Amino acid sequence: MSVLVLAEHNGLVLDDATARAVTAAILVDPDVHVLVAGRDCGAVAARAAMLAGVAKVLIADDGDLADQLCEPLAGLIAGLGERYDAFVAPATTSGKSVMPRVAALLDVMQISDVIAVEAPDRFRRPIYAGNIIQTVRSRDSKKVLTIRTSAFSPAPSEHAKPIEPVNFQRGPHLSSFVAKVMARSDRPELTSARIVVSGGRGLGSAENFEAVLAPLADALGAALGASRAAVDAGFVSNDLQVGQTGKIVAPDLYIACGISGAIQHLAGMKDSKVIVAINKDPEAPIFQVADYGLVADLFEAVPEIRAAMPAG
Amino acid sequence: MRIMVAVKRVVDPNVKVRLLADGSGIDLTGLKMTMNPFDEIAVEEAVRLRELAIASEVLVVSIGPDKATETLRTALAMGADRGLLIKTDAPIEPLSVAKLLRAAAIEEKPDLILLGKQAIDDDCNQTGQMLAAQLGWAQGTFASNLAVEGDAVTVTREVDGGSQTVRLVLPAVITVDLRLNEPRYASLPNIMKAKKKPIAERQPADYGIVVEQRLEIVRLEEPAGRLAGIKVGSATELVERLRSEAGVLS
C-alpha cells in the first residue's frame, strides 16, 4: 500500500521538516502521499506536490482544521487508516502532539524520533537522551512514526504531482484555539540552520545574550540556541532550547558559548558536524565533544571571533 | 474537581546509562532511581490546584514493579492524597500504559489528568496523547501555564517558534513542560505523613488488560562517542582553523 506524510505548515508556507519526513517515508514505502490539512492552504499543497518522491497530495480544507488542533487532525488521519500502511510526521511539536493520538486511535504503538529506517518495519531511535540507540521491529500491521528531522536531508523539488481533496468529517469540539504568540526573528530556523550559536548560563543575563551572542550569530548568518540552564534562568525563550527535551540540531557548525555540556544538552547537538566550545572552565564536559575548544572568557572571546571574521 | 496524575519511576536523569556487557539491556544495577522530572512538575501543579481549592482530590497512579511504590510515596509527600499502583514486572510500552490509565480513569472519574510530557528513559512522548485519544478527551501537550475556568481549562503550550493557547473542554488530558512550575521538595513532616496515606494496588488483569509488547527490541547500542578535538590558543586561531581546516566558514 502507501505511506501518508503529515505536512507541517503555518497555513502559508510548507515547513522544511515536511521535506525531511518525505525522505524518511520513501524508505518505508516508495508510494508517498502528503496530507495538507488546514484552511485555504492551497499554496502549501502546491509546494508539497513538488517534493521529489511524492506521488500525490491530499488536501483537507475545513475551518476546524485551521488551527492544527490535535483532536480534529488526529480524527482526519485515523479516518484515512484503511488506505495506508504507514503514517509519518516530523517530530516537531505538532507532529509529537498529533501522531500518538493517531496511533492510539489505530491501536498502534508509535515509534518516536526515528533516526534511521532499516526496513519498512525496523527503525533506529535514540533513548536515554541519545546515550543508547535502540533498533526496534514493529509487530503492528500499520506503522506510525515521527522522524527526527536532523537525521534526514530534505527531499529536493521536481515537477508537480496531482493534488486531490479529501473529505473531513467534523467531530465534537473538544478544544478551541485562543491565541498564538510566535517569536519574531529574522534569523534562520534553529533546526534547519547551517550554523548555530548557542549560549548557556555563562552568558549571565538576557541583555548579554542580545549584546554579546546575537551579533556573532548575525555575522555568521546563524540561528541562536540556548542550553536549558539559560532558558530556566530566563535569558531566552524556551523555543531556543537545544537538548533532550528541546530542539535537536545537527548543523555544520555548532558554537557553544558558556555551556558546560550536561548530557541533556549534548543529546540535542552532538550530531553536529563541527562543534566549537568556548568556556572558561577547562574541565567543562562540553570540551569532551568539541572539535575545537577555546578556554577563555566568552565576553572577550566572542567579540574577538567576530572581529576575526571577514567583513560582510 | 478531581485530578489524576500519572508518575513513572526512572533512572536519575543525571546518570549516564550503560549497556549490559552482552548488550541485552540497560545496566540498572546500583543506579539511583527517581520520579521522572516532568511528572514531578505534573504532581506539583495538581497539588497547587488542590491548595487553591480548585481541586478536591489528587490521585497519583504509577505502573510498574513494587518499587514504583517509592515514586508514589514521593508524590504523596509532595501533597497528593492517595496512590494507585498498577503492578506489573513486564516491560511496558506507552500504548499499554495509556490503556491501563484509561481503565483507572474510567473507575476513578477524574476531571483532569496530568502527565509529564515525556519520560527521560524511553523518550517516547506519547502516553498523554494516547490516553486522551482512548478516552475521547481533549488534550493539551507541553503546557507552560494552565488555568481552570468552570468546565474548561485554558492551556498555554510550548510550541516550535513560540507558544499557543488553547481552551479544552473538561475532562481533559494535559502533559506538562519544564516551565509550568518549580516542583517543591517534600518536607520531613510531609514525608512522615505520606507514609500513612493510602496506596491501592491493582493488576492489569483486574482491568481485563493484557500487557503486550508491540515493539521487538532488535538491538541496543551505545552510539560511537565523539572524540575530543583540540584546544586552540586564541579566537584568531579558532577562526583560521574553522576556515582552512574545518571548511565551515567561508
pLDDT digits (tens, 9 = 90+) for A101-141: 999 999 999 999 999 999 999 999 999 999 999 999 999 99
* B147-170 residue pLDDT tens: 999 999 999 999 988 899 999 999
Least confident of A10-14, A151-155, A235-239, B181-185: A235-239
* A25-45 residue pLDDT tens: 999 999 999 999 999 999 999
**Residue A1 in this model has a pLDDT that exceeds 80:** no
3-state secondary structure A249-263: CCCCEEEEECCCCCH
3-state helix, strand, coil in chain A (%, to 5): 35, 30, 35
**Residue B227 in this model has a pLDDT that exceeds 70:** yes
**Residue A275 in this model has a pLDDT that exceeds 60:** yes
Interface membership of B69 toward A (CB under 8 Å): no
Residue contact A294–B117, C-beta within 8 A = no
Which residue has cell 526496534?
A: A136
pLDDT at A311: 57
ipTM: 0.94
Interface membership of B125 toward A (CB under 8 Å): yes
Nearest-CB residue to B226 (from A113, A289, A304):
A289
Sort residue B130 into left (φ over 0), alpha (ψ -120 to 50) or beta. Answer: alpha
* A206-220 residue pLDDT tens: 999 999 999 999 999
**Residue B144 in this model has a pLDDT that exceeds 50:** yes
Interface of B with A in 18-37 (CB under 8 A): 19, 26
> What separation in angstroms does the CA of B214 have from each of A46, A106, A143, A148, B203?
37, 13, 11, 21, 20
**Residue A185 in this model has a pLDDT that exceeds 80:** no
Mean pLDDT in residue range A294-311: 91
* B113-133 residue pLDDT tens: 999 999 999 999 999 999 999
Nearest-CB residue to B125 (from A96, A173, A175):
A96
Nearest to residue A142, comparing CAs of A59, A28, A31? A28
Residue contact B154–A253, C-beta within 8 A = no
Nearest-CB residue to B235 (from A274, A289, A305):
A305
Distance, CA of A290 to CA of A274 (rounded, Å): 8
Mean pLDDT in residue range A251-277: 95
Mean model confidence pLDDT for chain A: 95
With cut-offs at 50, 70 and 90, classify the pLDDT of residue A312.
very low
- Contact between A216 and A198 under an 8 Å Cβ cutoff? The reply is no
Whole-model pTM? 0.93
Grid cell for residue A29: 514505502
* Separation in Å, CA of B196 to nearest CA in chain A: 34
| % of chain A at pLDDT higher than 90 | 90
In a mutational test of the A interface, the residue from B41, B166, B230 whose CB has the highest number of chain A CBs within 10 Å is B166
Cβ contacts below 8 Å, chain A against chain B, sum to 256
* Separation in Å, CA of A102 to nearest CA in chain B: 8
Residue contact A97–B231, C-beta within 8 A = no
Mean pLDDT in residue range A189-193: 88
Neighbours of B152 (CB within 10 A): 16
* B47-103 residue pLDDT tens: 999 999 999 999 999 999 999 999 999 999 999 999 999 999 999 999 999 999 999
Phi, psi (degrees; rounded to nearest 5) at B98: -60, -40
* Separation in Å, CA of A246 to nearest CA in chain B: 9
Residue contact B216–A137, C-beta within 8 A = yes
Nearest-CB residue to B162 (from A182, A232, A294):
A182
Distance, CA of A67 to CA of A175 (rounded, Å): 10
pLDDT at A173: 95
**Residue B45 in this model has a pLDDT that exceeds 60:** yes
Distance, CA of B35 to CA of B176 (rounded, Å): 14
* Separation in Å, CA of B238 to nearest CA in chain A: 7
Nearest to residue A60, comparing CAs of A168, A163, A162? A168
Nearest-CB residue to B121 (from A127, A270, A307):
A127
Distance, CA of B68 to CA of B65 (rounded, Å): 6
Residue contact B161–A179, C-beta within 8 A = no
Residue contact B159–A127, C-beta within 8 A = no
In a mutational test of the A interface, the residue from B151, B157, B159 whose CB has the highest number of chain A CBs within 10 Å is B159
Nearest-CB residue to B162 (from A135, A181, A310):
A181
Residue with the larger pLDDT of the pair A34 and A246? A34
Mean pLDDT in residue range A38-60: 97
